[in-house]
Amino acid sequence: MAKVLTSRAENYAQWYNDLVIKADLAENSAVRGCMVIKPYGYAIWEKMQRALDDMFKETGHQNAYFPLFIPKSFFSKEAAHVEGFAKECAVVTHYRLMNDPDGKGVVVDPDAKLEEELIVRPTSETIIWNTYRNWIQSYRDLPIKINQWANVVRWEMRTRLFLRTAEFLWQEGHTAHATKQEALEETETMLKVYAKFAEEWMAMPVVQGYKTESERFAGALETMTIEALMQDGKALQSGTSHFLGQNFAKAFDVTFTNQEGKIESVWATSWGVSTRLMGALVMSHSDDNGLVLPPKLAPIQVVIVPIYKKLEELDQINGVADKIVAELKQLGISVKYDNDDKRKPGWKFAEYELKGVPLRLAIGPRDLQNGTCELARRDTLTKEIVPLEGIGSKAVSLLADIQSNIFKKALDFREANTTVVDDYEEFKKLLDDKGGFFLCHWDGSAETEERVKNETKATIRCIPLEGPTEPGKCMVTGKPSARRVLFARSY
Amino acid sequence: MAKVLTSRAENYAQWYNDLVIKADLAENSAVRGCMVIKPYGYAIWEKMQRALDDMFKETGHQNAYFPLFIPKSFFSKEAAHVEGFAKECAVVTHYRLMNDPDGKGVVVDPDAKLEEELIVRPTSETIIWNTYRNWIQSYRDLPIKINQWANVVRWEMRTRLFLRTAEFLWQEGHTAHATKQEALEETETMLKVYAKFAEEWMAMPVVQGYKTESERFAGALETMTIEALMQDGKALQSGTSHFLGQNFAKAFDVTFTNQEGKIESVWATSWGVSTRLMGALVMSHSDDNGLVLPPKLAPIQVVIVPIYKKLEELDQINGVADKIVAELKQLGISVKYDNDDKRKPGWKFAEYELKGVPLRLAIGPRDLQNGTCELARRDTLTKEIVPLEGIGSKAVSLLADIQSNIFKKALDFREANTTVVDDYEEFKKLLDDKGGFFLCHWDGSAETEERVKNETKATIRCIPLEGPTEPGKCMVTGKPSARRVLFARSY
């Protein structure tokens, strides 16, 4: 069978795009920059949502829903926020269409112009803090820990499926606290939740850290981030958690009476991950044959394919397969038995490889005689003949093994592609030759950061929470550096 | 304690609005016609979503996601659809803001005008069928059975929380079939799913039936509906399922090659329920003390309140309550123990009554001695002293009893308020005096339907699938009628 994907070595960007489309994850829509998330892709996103939502609730958050539209004037209230956000966005100016008086079709009714334009939310801090004003009077009303699952729109000029789209799906947490300390703790707690999700569910190792001032969210005092390394040596920012200080509370006049009876401004955080994680998932593990999905997020964890020549053989296999399906379902495994007679086994093998199904179980006439089946792992592409007796517990343990193996593989890759560099020329050379993460000394100035960015397209992904902490000299200017930071080119 | 709600008898509309706000379900936002769904309200909606989503998947549907925006020209492609839908909607005309050159704040950048305006989806048939065109070539690609959970916008002039809002949350199913028969069956299957959900989860009896031609969805050949009766005697359309024929396939050129190798247009259905169901839930069961929630949808099914004077007593009660909480959780019951010392028991009793918690369990010092507690039912407002021994199974059986009791109460109410009438004058009188559902003969003409609507504000809610089927004479014109239909004033 012809390869359906461009290889990674040939053209990584093309491989990614081919894979997202061929594996039925998503496609471009008729609306510029907006994607259609197809059922198979959406099933993965639903699994992500469920896992994250459970973690949010375990950490004391509740879901709610705020309006899609934000009055234009709200964006002007927080100075940094308007600079960072309000520019490239979808603007609603009218609320009615009418039949075209000059012909067929419909046109915008000029009489139905809004007094104040509405912005389709690019993020919801402004409308939410405007709402919180009425919810918060006393310290007894705090904390408020709310999350929202929603669609947002940012008018991106160059879009790529999942990685950068005009509309995307995400969750945004917005919390309100009585003290700075509590808000800082919340910021960190949620970053840890994201890191745990990335590593334990997506099998994607991440570096946790603080963004530099220039890379912070518009309106934040601190932005924390998880950064993952993709197979092409570029970083992908996978989730951010922001300490917003009292900026939004002051902009929207949200105050409370503290325990001593004094009026204070409320402390805020916000944090989010989006369908961008789908892109990160694809680029972390997949290969030239297709997707490689971590079992915990795979819509189909085990596929069973019958191998037969005569329909009587299929009948016999059906009987055995039905029992296996029942046994696996009993164990909480999501399983599909594909006995569609219109497709050959070879086609099915390629299809489920492309779709990243972690385990494939094939049964032929000889297996029936021997009480065996062939088990193939998607991650290693290895096969073994195993007895049908005990297939359930075998599948459970293999799925766990695949989950940890692909995490380990990604971690090994990251370690092999994280370089400690002290010389700027060497940094530039290695950035081109090898890519990956670089741990380098930096003098802490925005000027140096900007210079590196302009000269190399690499940015400071974060000031890591862990890793080498010895002081040194900036690789660019030679000035003192408190500790190494993480540089990389990024998505 | 002062009553926090206007009574139903005094002003039903005000009672509803008070209740939605006081019970923390939702509130109006700063954006005209858009609501904020608060955590308690959203928790109920999440339970609805989960139950419906499971039912959709059991009937073979998958979730996906399509763009928020629809190009204006798409609405002109299906003639009936544009008439019914495209007029009152949010229109995006620009994609950028800029700093106001004359002052502070931001203004719309006149240079960033879209070539073609985008409509914020009021419903997604057009964008979805435009997408299906590329997904469907052969009968092998059919059926496609997709559902989407999404927000939609219809620019309503008069809005009411949950019942009619500019933006609302919903699900919309969009299926594609090779035959008319299969599409008709799908239309009916999904109506049955809605009816089952309404009756078994919301405890809300519904009349299933067909809409008359004038009440059909814009672009549908048949619209099926479930109609519920609210406590003020008005009907609330709670879910609709549409047989769209080949209209959208023809408008968007979606054809397939059938088994005989001939090219045909695809058959379509669509179906949806929305956050309007929240309004239906409130108005079906609640009373002048607050919400009455069916246990299956209650975010908190059991609340435990300690009654004490001294803190030592509270300590003792805490120990007992912790065991009860563990026992109830073990049984899958959602339970809250409210030992907040800042609030008195009386305040808590009123609060959880207002919030509609189905079961309240109170424990005082005497209960500790006797090994008992006081159990109070929200639906009947009755109390009994029961032994703590076996409290888990007692709670399980009471919750089931409450679920069936409030369904029965609503069904009794509907039966008492469904009137068979043959005389138009009597109909008009009873409509004003009593309200409710009316089963009347109708001659089948749009003229008569329109006349009744204009003269009485009552509409034909549906031609029921069940109920009296004897022919007769139209109550208005005396012309022959095939069967009685359901009239009511409605939300």
* Residue given tokens 């106001």 in the structure block: B100
pLDDT tens profile B252-311: 999 999 999 999 999 999 999 999 999 999 999 999 999 999 999 999 999 999 999 999
Of B131, B146, B167, Cβ closest to residue A68:
B167
* Residue given tokens 């790529």 in the structure block: A160
Q: Is A357 helix (H, G, I), strand (E, B) or coil?
A: coil
| H or E, element range at B397 | helix B391-416
The C-alpha of A166 sits at a distance from chain B's nearest C-alpha, in angstroms, of 10
B69, A90: Cβ pair inside 8 Å? yes
- For residue B425, the number of C-alpha atoms closer than 13 Å in the C-beta half-sphere is 0
Tokens encoding B393: 């199974």
Residues sharing a CB contact under 8 Å with residue A134, sequence separation 6 or more, in sequence order = none
Q: Could you give the CA distance from residue A372 to residue A366 in angstroms, rounded to a whole number?
A: 8
How confident is the prediction along chain A (491 residues), in pLDDT tens digits per residue? 456 899 999 999 999 999 999 999 999 999 999 999 999 999 999 999 999 999 999 999 999 999 999 999 998 887 777 777 658 899 999 999 988 888 778 899 999 999 999 999 999 999 999 999 999 999 999 999 999 999 999 998 889 999 999 999 999 999 999 999 999 999 999 999 999 999 999 999 999 999 999 999 989 999 999 999 999 999 999 999 999 999 999 999 999 999 999 999 999 999 999 999 999 999 999 999 999 999 999 999 999 999 999 999 999 999 999 999 999 999 999 999 999 998 999 999 999 999 999 999 999 999 999 999 999 999 999 999 999 999 999 999 999 999 999 999 999 999 999 999 999 999 999 999 999 999 999 999 999 999 999 999 999 999 999 988 899 999 999 999 999 999 999 99
Which of 123-162 (B) contact A at CB < 8 A?
127, 130-131, 134, 140, 146, 150-151, 153, 155
- Contact of B170 with B152, CB cutoff 8 Å: yes
Residue from B425, B437, B421 nearest B473 by CA: B421
Q: Is A363 helix (H, G, I), strand (E, B) or coil?
A: strand
Q: Is A185 helix (H, G, I), strand (E, B) or coil?
A: helix
Of A36, A91, A96, Cβ closest to residue B66:
A36
Report all structural domains of chain B as residue ranges with CATH numbers, in order of start: 12-285 (3.30.930.10), 300-396 (3.40.50.800), 418-488 (3.30.110.30)
Residue from B220, B174, B219 nearest B56 by CA: B174
- Contact of A195 with A464, CB cutoff 8 Å: no
Residues in chain A: 491
Contacts of B342 in chain A (CB under 8 A): 140
A29, B93: Cβ pair inside 8 Å? no
How many Cβ contacts (< 8 angstroms) between chains A and B?
Answer: 182
Q: Give Cα separations from B439 to A97, A227, B71, B417, B474 (angstroms).
A: 38, 65, 43, 11, 11
Residues sharing a CB contact under 8 Å with residue A30, sequence separation 6 or more, in sequence order = B67, B71, B74, B127, B130, B131
Which of 5-44 (B) contact A at CB < 8 A?
29-31, 34-39, 42-43
Q: Could you give the CA distance from residue A267 to residue A264 in angstroms, rounded to a whole number?
A: 9
Q: Is A366 helix (H, G, I), strand (E, B) or coil?
A: helix
Q: Note the helical H segments in A238-310.
A: 247-251, 276-285
Q: Note the helical H segments in B86-153.
A: 125-135
pLDDT tens profile B351-394: 999 999 999 999 999 999 999 999 999 999 999 999 999 999 99
Return the number of other C-beta atoms located less than 10 Å from residue A180's C-beta: 13
Q: Could you give the CA distance from residue A41 to residue A19 in angstroms, rounded to a whole number?
A: 11
Tokens encoding A252: 């929207």
The C-alpha of A216 sits at a distance from chain B's nearest C-alpha, in angstroms, of 21
| H or E, element range at A439 | strand A437-441
* Residue given tokens 């003290």 in the structure block: A179
Q: Could you give the CA distance from residue B21 to residue B1 in angstroms, rounded to a whole number?
A: 18
Q: Provide the 8-state DSSP code for B477.
A: T
Tokens encoding A204: 């994607």
Residues sharing a CB contact under 8 Å with residue B246, sequence separation 6 or more, in sequence order = B265, B266, B267, B268
The predicted complex's ipTM stands at: 0.96
**Among all residues of chain B, which has the CA nearest to that of A275?**
B65
Q: Could you give the CA distance from residue A438 to residue A144 in angstroms, rounded to a whole number?
A: 39
